[in-house]
Structure 1
Amino acid sequence: METPSRSTDTDRDGAPLRSTLVAIGLTVFGLIAAEFATLPAFLFDPVLLEVAMEGGSLGEASMEGRTLLLILNFVGMASAGLIYLLATGRGLSWIDLRVPTKTDWKYLIAGSIGSIVFLYLVSILFMLLDVPAAESQVIEIVGENQTMILIMIFIVFFFNAPAEEFLFRNVIQKRLYAAFTRVQAILVTSVIFAAVHLPMYLIAETTIATLASLSIMFGGSVIFGYVYAKTDNLLVPTIAHAVLNAFQFAMLYIAIEYDIEQGEPAPSMLLDAVAMIPL
């Protein structure tokens, strides 16, 4: 699809507060749409409803039920972005989707490698400072089921990364360009993106652990936002995001396959990084 021209500093005519409120509203709308979209999954697997009502573990549900729940969640999130574009007259032409150029590929590779390096550098820092990281509920969903891990890699590439990057980068971040510089838009979007993932971390953990994990979410979002801002191509942050999460799941698969236990510095760092898988 044809990509609209890049905005410049002279194009900014939106009020920062209003634009930020719109961004937050879009995020809330995305979360609500995702909740409604998952309703068929609860009918498909009643255990999911029991877990939601009684606060059990999602790992108790069937693999098919968990898979359907996650897929519908991200379909709902993406639909919120589409509804906004159609309702505001921006239309599908607003979507920055094209075959990557050579420059796009450079940013895609840099974003993929950079996000993985960032994850492990921060993990090392947290380990040295003895800062704990909150465990994502994704670990609860997957458990030690290697088949589910492979399914998660599929979901990451075809539903998770496309939905999140479409809503947060191509809709929210791009909408913020009207009131902020691109750098400012990236930062505002990243704060919102990190805040959205707060429920994904076990609240029973310490506040420091939760903040540590959210700081990683924020940093990853800045990286994805940056490569999107430099390319105006949704495929670039989407693939980079998917590569990062797929790498984490691959590490989890290896950890289970070879029964890697925490205790030695290297395995501990590997598992800590895996435990912070965001979705």
Structure 2
Amino acid sequence: MSDDPSRPRATLAAVGVGLLGFLGGAVGVSLVSELVTATVGPVGALYEQWVFVTGFGVGATATVGLSLWASDRGLAFVDLGWPTRRDLATIGVGLVAIFGLYGVVTAVRSVLGLEASVSRVQMALEATPDPVAVVGLAALSVLVVGPVEELLFRNIVQKRLREAFSAPRAIGLASLFFAGLHVGQYGAGSALATAVSLATVFALAVILGAIYESSEALIVPAAVHGLFNAIQILGAWVLLA
């Protein structure tokens, strides 16, 4: 698609839907958290991540569904479908690319002496190194985090931006938005450490955006995103053990 004169409106619409989805996810987290507290009581830090992931997934998905219904776009706007052989190959290439980029970014940070902020998931792993909780969170990363975040940030935000912008600009804007909304995940460190972490998230999001652009299938970036997170969680647990 070529650039369109209605860019400001397209940008506001995409960001608006993204923020609604994010806020819907926050409401979902609050509701699920209260339900768990009322029925089970306090849980460990890593199980709190289960609650967060589940609540955000339910809330964000429900909000996206409502926004699609209200805009008359419907489920047809969601790029669902069974993965083809090409999709499976793209998932494999995407995993190599995203881990390769992460390795390069980590090496550059090391050379420059830049420390990244510790994520809340890492903190939870250190506080609750329970094998069941770890494996469960890794599974939720594949089944919930990857699909829901890619639905919201790539299939909705990036796709809406793509209606008015070229592919590189749409990917860049969606990735910037995606990174900005991860402040809560990496905001525990210093301002510089948080900025370094968010820059890393932005770079990885660009890979996911490019994968979605090339495949036009939600399952491809969702699988790459979910597997990347799951492998990181399991790897961090192994190192801690």
* Offset of residue 127 of structure 1: 1.0
SS in 1 for 2:114: coil
State the distance in 2 between where 1:82 and 1:176 align. Answer: 18
Q: Is the 8 A contact 1:41 1:68 kept in 2?
A: yes
- Report the AA paired with residue 112 of structure 1: L
1:47 and 1:132 map into 2 onto residues whose CA distance is 40
Counterpart check, 1:100 vs 2:83: yes
RMSD: 2.2
Q: Deviations over 1:189-238 (max 9, x none)?
A: 000000000111134x2222111111111011110110110111001100
Paired residues in the alignment total 238
Question: How big is the shift at 1:251?
Answer: 0.7
Match of 1:43 among 35, 39, 48: 35
Does the 8 Å CA contact 2:211/2:220 hold for their aligned counterparts?
A: yes
2:146 corresponds in structure 1 to 161
The alpha-carbon distance between structure 1 residues 44 and 250, as it changes in their structure 2 partners (threshold 3 A), is closer
TM superposition score normalised by structure 2: 0.91
Question: 8 Å contact 1:45–1:61 — kept in the other structure?
Answer: no
Change over 3 Å in CA distance of 1:184–1:49 after alignment to 2: farther
Structure 1 segment 1-279 matched on structure 2, within 5 A = 8-9=1-2, 13=4, 15-38=6-29, 39-45=31-37, 60=44, 63=47, 66-142=49-125, 143=127, 144-203=129-188, 205-257=189-241
1:14 shift after superposition = 6.0
**Other structure's SS at 2:217 match:** coil
Contact residue 14 and residue 178 of structure 1 kept, 8 A:
no
Q: Is the 8 A contact 1:47 1:61 kept in 2?
A: no
Aligned AA (2:107): I
SS in 2 for 1:217: helix
- Residues in 2 aligned to 1:74 and 1:141: alpha-carbon distance in whole angstroms: 19
**Distance (Å, rounded) in 1 between the aligned partners of 2:49 and 2:160:** 33
Residues 60 and 191 (structure 1), Cα distance of their counterparts in 2 relative to 1, 3 Å cut = same
Structure 1 gap segments, 5+ residues each: 1-7, 51-58, 258-279
Post-superposition Cα deviations, 1:216-266, rounded to whole Å, max 9, x if no partner, equal 110111101101101110011000101111110121121122xxxxxxxxx
Q: 1:48 to 1:28 in 2, by over 3 A?
A: farther
Distance 2:102 2:165 in 1: 28
CA 1:60/1:24 → structure 2, altered by over 3 Å: closer, same or farther?
same
Structure 1 Cα separation of the partners of residues 46 and 156 of structure 2: 34
The 1-side partners of 2:144 and 2:71 are apart by: 24
Confirm or deny: 8 A CA contact 1:78 1:164 kept in the other structure.
no
Identity of aligned residues (%): 27
1:48, CA displacement in angstroms? 11
Higher helix share: 2
Pick closer, same or farther for the CA change 1:179–1:154 going to 2, 3 Å.
same
Shift of 1:170: 0.7
Residues 137 and 201 of structure 1 are in contact (CA less than 8 Å); yes or no, is this contact kept in structure 2? yes
Distance across 2 between alignment mates of 1:14 and 1:105: 36
